[in-house]
Amino acid sequence: MELPEEYLRNFVEEYAAVTGRGIIHHLEQLAKPLKGIKVVHVNSSREGGGVSEILQKLVPFQQALGLDARWEVMTGDAPFYQCTKSIHNALQGSSIDISEDLLDDYRRANRENAERLGTLLEEADFVFIHDPQPAALIEHFPLRRGKWVWRCHIDVSHPHKPVWKFLQNWVARYDASIFSLPEFAQPLPHPLYIIPPGIDPLSEKNRDLPAEEVAGIIPLFGLDPNLPVVLQVSRFDRFKDPLGVIEAYRLARKLTPLQLVLAGGSAGDDPEGEAVLAEVRRHVEEDPHIHVLLLPPSAHRTINALQRAADIVLQKSLREGFGLTVAEAMWKGKPVIGGDTGGIRLQVVDHYTGFLVRTPDGAALRIRYLLHRRDRLSEMGERARRFTLENYLLTRHLREYLALMVSLVHGSRGRIEVAG
Amino acid sequence: MENATPVAKGPFVVKDCDLITQATGIRASNLKEFRDGLSRAPVESVYHHFWGRLMRPQFDEPEYNNDFASWTMRGLNDKVLAERLSMVVPSDFEDLEDLRREILEVLDQRSSDSDLLPWAGGEQKFFFLQSQIVIFDTGLTFDHPLDMASYLPSFSTGSIFFHFIDARGRTEHRRDDFSLWLRGFGEEFRPLARMLTGIDPYFSSLKEIRKLVTQTFQHYFEERP
């Protein structure tokens, strides 16, 4: 969808107010040689999950910089999503064998979407395919004229080999891949770019909120106003280790009064969430100080208020591609206790912007420490905000996409000088 | 007398840059693999691990000033090697291949010191990366150093990287662009050029380097008779 010019101008000015004009000027200069090029992003979900949140702002921003950017979403039926969820889990290391029938559903959905998106993808100068769901689209475009880039948002450092081999059939045909961390990059016969994602400081989930709205979240969900809030925001997904979080809370609570909020949504492409949620609810039993909140995909403002109302934010993932919720919490000045894995390590600088932990015991220890040492909690929170401002906002993510496009246009030379 | 001041060769054209990082697919878990990886990695990888780190998120001032030294300390717990690698100064070498040869020599020397082969833990592998540098115009030019002085705090970190760091690998005397430009004015700004050359870029973030360069310009013009 093409957005009005005035809207796009104001859009950019709003970011300038947060990041400073210099960052915007830098983006404008970098985008100059890319003006007018046709860019299409394809993923599998319009709402819910980190990828759609990124695209909701990345695409208009590219438009505002003069690129002819579009965002298309794959359609699919329940077996397709069941298959892609299994692929997702297998790529993150689970030993899952996927039936041939389901793999056929994957191929079929990609074929049908290729027919629907035909000319648009064939004529694009750049096609960014996000994650495994639409990866097989490339097979149906032998006459593609642009550069096709596979953007992998998940941790594929230890993929289940048969599933990676299945996907590799298509991924190897791309002109380049993007991974969030060097550890995730798999051997492929094309350039492997390393680009961590970033959060949008002006989204409903991250923009400043009035103090009364933040305070109002406590009674809204029946939280105890006299107890500190420890929060984890994530899908109900085993890799996010919700049961480990509950264990950490129980260990910490033996010595430190607190309450735990597990706030999760479900994404349209995640059929496993309900089973994990049921397991979490069984584990909570009747503890009145654990609040399990199932929020709709549109509850961005609620999540924003919860993160701001929290004293500490956890992201105790066992595997994590990047962990946008970490940057979100840090942007709100919260220290994060995160699993010592994947992209969490890039954001949580141990003992500076939070703590990296490997066990529920480790998480419990750090919760107790931060609730006891409020001075350190504030200090780490302030550093976390500054670190996110400088490194993990959407503007930095966009800058690297632009540099990548320039790089692909100019080939593999080590130094590329763009004409002014 | 004004006419006696030699004119610089041209205005200072401010450029900006971005580094785009690529994986090389080469990784190492011990010193032997590390040496082998370094010898076959693209030479751009040496650039990335010496200088590219400045363009990446970093929080505090780094303990060691290149990725190779940091990893041998953090991953292999080899302080001796980390210290030796930290004292390799890239601008001492004609080109990146020479620099690579020097690092390999340091590694070989360390290997001959001991038969032990320390291993990095499972998640502490070294990943050889490489960078492409994308350079573009900012539209800014300066004819006189005094004009530049007031504008320096607004330089992007990419501009500082390009003119103060990257310049050391592409200029004849391995100097930064600022001091080279100042020398073009003849004797008038030579003291300022010397002060800039004295800034050690190995232990500071780009923001800190920008601050140091700015302060150097400002002090010079404040104290000039």
Q: What DSSP letter does each residue of B42-101 carry, written as one string?
A: -THHHHHHHTGGGGS---S--SSSSHHHHHHHHTT--HHHHHHHHT--GGGSSSHHHHHH
B3–chain A nearest CA distance, Å: 33
* Helix, strand or coil, per DSSP, at residue A270: coil
> Helices (H) and strands (E) in chain A — how many of each?
15, 13
Task: Write down the residue that tokens 């990059």 correspond to.
Answer: A185
Q: Across the interface, do A416 and B158 touch by the CB < 8 Å criterion?
A: no
User: To the nearest whole angstrom, how far is the Cα of B224 from the nearest Cα of chain A?
Assistant: 31
CA A292 to chain centroid: 22
When CB atoms are compared, the residue of B20, B135, B156 closest to A22 is B156
C-beta atoms of A22 and B21 within 8 A: no
Three-state SS for A316-351 is CCCCCCCCHHHHHHHHCCCCEEEECCCCHHHHCCEC
> pTM for the full model?
0.86
Chain A CB contacts of B154 below 8 Å: 22
Q: What tokens appear for B31 in the block?
A: 């010193």
* Residues 185 through 214 of chain B touching chain A, CB cutoff 8 Å: none
Instruction: Please name the residue of chain A whose CA is at the shortest distance from the CA of residue B133.
Output: A415
Q: List chain A residues with CB under 8 Å of B140.
A: none
Buried b vs exposed e over A72-95: b needs ≥16 C-beta within 10 Å? bbbebeebbbbbbbbbbbbbbbbe
Please check whether residue A307 is in contact with residue A231, taking contact to mean a CB–CB distance below 8 angstroms. yes
CB pairs under 8 A between A and B: 96
Residue A33 C-alpha, separation from nearest chain B C-alpha, in angstroms: 10
pLDDT tens per residue across all 420 residues of chain A: 667 778 878 888 999 999 888 889 889 999 999 999 999 999 998 887 778 888 999 999 999 999 999 999 999 999 999 999 999 999 988 888 899 999 999 999 999 999 999 999 999 999 999 999 999 999 999 999 999 999 999 889 899 999 999 999 999 999 999 999 898 999 999 999 999 989 999 989 999 999 999 999 999 999 999 999 999 999 898 889 999 999 999 999 999 999 999 999 765 556 678 889 999 999 998 899 999 999 988 899 999 999 999 999 999 999 887 888 999 999 999 999 999 988 898 899 889 999 999 999 999 999 999 999 999 999 999 999 999 998 899 999 999 999 999 999 988 678 898 876
pLDDT, one tens digit per residue, over B96-150 is 999 999 999 999 999 888 767 777 766 688 999 999 999 998 889 999 999 999 9
Among the listed residues A330, A310, A311, the one whose alpha carbon sits nearest the alpha carbon of residue A374: A311
Domains A5-198+394-410 and A211-391 share a fold: yes
- Residues 6 or more apart whose Cβ sits within 8 Å of residue B175: B167, B168, B197
Q: Do B59 and A30 touch (CB under 8 A)?
A: no
Residue A262 C-alpha from the chain's centroid: 18
Q: Which amino acid is at B190?
A: R
Chain B residue at shortest CA distance from A419: B136
Residue B55: predicted pLDDT: 83
Instruction: Return the H-helix or E-strand segment holding A83.
Output: helix A78-91
Tell me which chain A residues have a C-beta less than 8 angstroms from the C-beta of B152.
Answer: none
CA distance to A157, A263, A279, A306, A372, per residue, from A363 (Å): 24, 18, 21, 20, 14
Which among B25, B131, B156 is the nearest to A187, CB-wise? B25
Q: How many CB atoms are located within 10 Å of the residue A7 CB?
A: 11
- Name the token pair of B68: 């190779």
For residue B158, the chain A residue with the least C-alpha distance is: A26
Instruction: Say yes or no: B77 contacts chain A, CB-CB below 8 A.
Output: no
Amino acid in position A121: L
- Put simply, the answer to whether B135 touches A383 (Cβ < 8 Å) is no
Contact A12/B at CB under 8 A: no
A30/B134 Cβ within 8 A: yes
Asked if A392 reaches chain B (Cβ–Cβ under 8 Å), the answer is yes
Per domain, the residue ranges of chain A are: 5-198+394-410, 211-391
The SS3 assignment for A303 reads helix
Beta strand B126-142 with B12-28: parallel, antiparallel or unpaired? antiparallel
CATH topology of domain A5-198+394-410: Rossmann fold (3.40.50)
Tell me which architecture the domain covering A211-391 has in CATH: 3-Layer(aba) Sandwich (3.40)
pLDDT, block means (10 residues), chain B with 225 residues: 50 94 94 95 93 76 83 90 92 89 95 76 84 91 93 93 91 88 91 92 86 95 82
* Length of chain B as a residue count: 225
> Nearest by CB to A193, which of B22, B60, B134?
B22
Chain B residues whose beta carbon lies within 8 Å of the beta carbon of residue A404: 20
For residues B206 and B161, the answer to whether their CB atoms sit within 8 Å is yes
